[in-house]
Chains A and B, each alone.
Chain A
């Protein structure tokens, strides 16, 4: 059996191990401080104690934890550590110096609170807090070993508080960065929308076209289960898909008649021109320039600019192709009025597998059905198409029939592989 002093030291060493665990445990700051206070009090059998954090900005100790203090538990003590820097450098060991200054500043308070030990928490000469300890339950005086134990524990707690402060600072900075990033994204989105509006200004009959294509593309991609980052990219791709029209003569775009072959060839330059404009701003493999380049390709290979077919056409371009055509069919143009919804469905029926890839058409149908069935709170299609355009009684059966047909086609295609 060890003698009493050795047994006490063994208990204190065990407490030191507990202290490390409590400081390292991932929980909130107050709980960490509270636990460590218990460890110190329990290590030496002390009847009361408190831990305060020091805030240089407000020149005050704020008490984070107190135990056994009853109604004496303080909340704050004003203490200006900044004025002490000069003296601190001359005094040598910071802990001793701070202890003397804190004791002399609060002599009356410590006496009434029955504080026996004042141990400043100092990390790299910076005061981060103080631990105040009452007398022992044995009512004996503190031995030098016990004072040493308190000093060691105070250093650990000081580091714990310092680390939590750093963590809080990092969290604050991370939050600031997140807000900044959100602001930048918002500026980016608004810039893109403004740019889309500028593109559409060239064509008096397609005002709002780019924004609508962006929105339809976004809804189709989301219906296809794309993640939010990809959905946002394709939305921007939709907004900017016609950016190449900026290099096409306004007269050709606004021609109030069907344009001739030469004019058509001029107009058909816009996908490649759009790619040239957007590629320097993004990776050439990125969705946005790819969408601009390939949104007029057809799955049967009869599109432009490259005449790509089937799987050679990037899916993002297939989506914007459907969104672009849907908007062209459902808005008035220079030389023709918009189609009624049954005609739109019929066009999709005829052209899917030729002009359009089936998956985005299926996704568009499902998104429309969800709105008709009231599964979405927002009536987003209705807002763009007008409230009388989508009539549930007529539109729903048409969409269901087209979906059934397209899904049967998909199943047959999978079965034939």
Chain B
């Protein structure tokens, strides 16, 4: 789905077959749906695994949880491994409490996330090869 007028595009980049999508602070409002759309767009364009990076995300609220459950749903439907990276403690507690961690792995940072995906052998890719970026 195209970005709506006036909306900042969600930052994302592609490393081999893995898309890294930055959750930023959009998640706590309806505009956070853009994060889910960006994840779906990356999956549709052929990415076979997803990393959602929370390094620039502050507090996580109920809207954020719902949107992330949508991301989990999208990844499940595409049978793509999904890892959350750089998750802060408050968010981690909520994810555990509400069962998100049953469906997604948490990684210390992006590299850790990429390693987890490589180890899972779900997809074949070179972790340090940046194929494209936007």
Interface flag for B94 (CB, 8 Å): yes
**Which residue in A22, A34, A67, A70 is a CB contact (below 8 Å) of B77?**
A70
Are A45 and B63 interface neighbours, CB within 8 A? no
Among candidates A4, A14, A41, residue contacting B66 with C-beta atoms closer than 8 Å: A41
Q: Residue-by-residue, is A238-251 near B (CB-CB < 8 Å gives 1, otherwise 0)?
A: 00000000000000
- Contact yes or no, A137 B66, CB < 8 A: no
Residues of A within 8 Å of B63, CB to CB, are 18, 22, 35, 38-39, 42
Within the assembled complex, what's the spacing in Å between the Cα atoms of A44 and B99?
A: 9
Give A1-53 interface residues, CB cut-off 8 Å to B: 4, 7-8, 11, 14-15, 18, 22, 31, 34-35, 37-48
Q: Is the CB of A44 within 8 A of B69?
A: no
B70 touches A138 (CB 8 A): no
Is B65 a contact partner of A45 (Cβ separation < 8 A)? yes
Chain B contact patch, size range: 20 to 34
The one of A4, A18, A35, A68 that contacts B69, using a Cβ cutoff of 8 Å: A68
Contact status of A139 and B66, CB under 8 A, knowing A7-B93, A7-B97, A14-B61: no
**Dominant secondary structure of chain B at its interface with chain A:** helix
The complex places the Cα of A22 from the Cα of B29 at a distance, in Å, of 9
In the complex where A42-B61, A67-B66 touch, is A139 in contact with B102 (Cβ < 8 A)?
A: yes
Neighbouring A residues of B97 by C-beta, 8 Å: 4, 7-8, 11, 45
Q: Does B64 contact A (CB under 8 A)?
A: yes
- A42 near B69 (CB under 8 angstroms)? yes
Contact residues on A (Cβ < 8 Å of other chain), bracket: 20 to 34
Q: Does A136 contact B (CB under 8 A)?
A: yes
Inter-chain contacts of B94 with A (CB < 8 A): 11
CB of B73 within 8 A of chain A? yes
Kindly list chain A residues whose C-beta atoms are within 8 Å of the C-beta of B64.
42
Q: A31-B30, A48-B73 are in contact. Are A137 and B62 (CB under 8 A)?
A: no
Q: How far is the CA of A42 from the CA of B70 in the complex (A)?
A: 10
**In contact, B103 and A137 (Cβ under 8 angstroms):** yes
Give B109 Cβ to nearest chain A Cβ, in Å.
Answer: 24
Q: Within the assembled complex, what's the spacing in Å between the Cα atoms of A41 and B73?
A: 13
Of the candidates A18, A37, A137, the one whose C-beta lies within 8 Å of that of B100 is A137
Q: Which residue of A lies closest to B93 (CB)?
A: A7
Asked if residues A8 and B98 are in contact (CB atoms below 8 Å), the reply is: yes
Contacts of A70 in B (CB 8 A): 73, 77
Residues of A within 8 A of B100 (CB): 45, 137
The answer to the question of B106 belonging to the interface, with a C-beta cut-off of 8 Å to chain A, is: no
**A–B complex contacts, Cβ < 8 Å, 30 sampled:** A7-B97, A8-B98, A11-B62, A11-B94, A11-B97, A11-B98, A14-B61, A15-B61, A18-B62, A38-B30, A39-B63, A41-B65, A41-B66, A42-B63, A42-B66, A42-B98, A43-B62, A44-B98, A45-B99, A67-B69, A68-B70, A70-B73, A136-B99, A137-B69, A137-B72, A137-B99, A137-B103, A138-B102, A139-B99, A139-B102
Given A67-B69, A137-B98, 14 extra CB contacts under 8 A: A15-B62, A22-B63, A34-B33, A35-B30, A38-B66, A38-B67, A42-B66, A42-B98, A43-B65, A47-B72, A68-B70, A136-B98, A136-B99, A138-B98
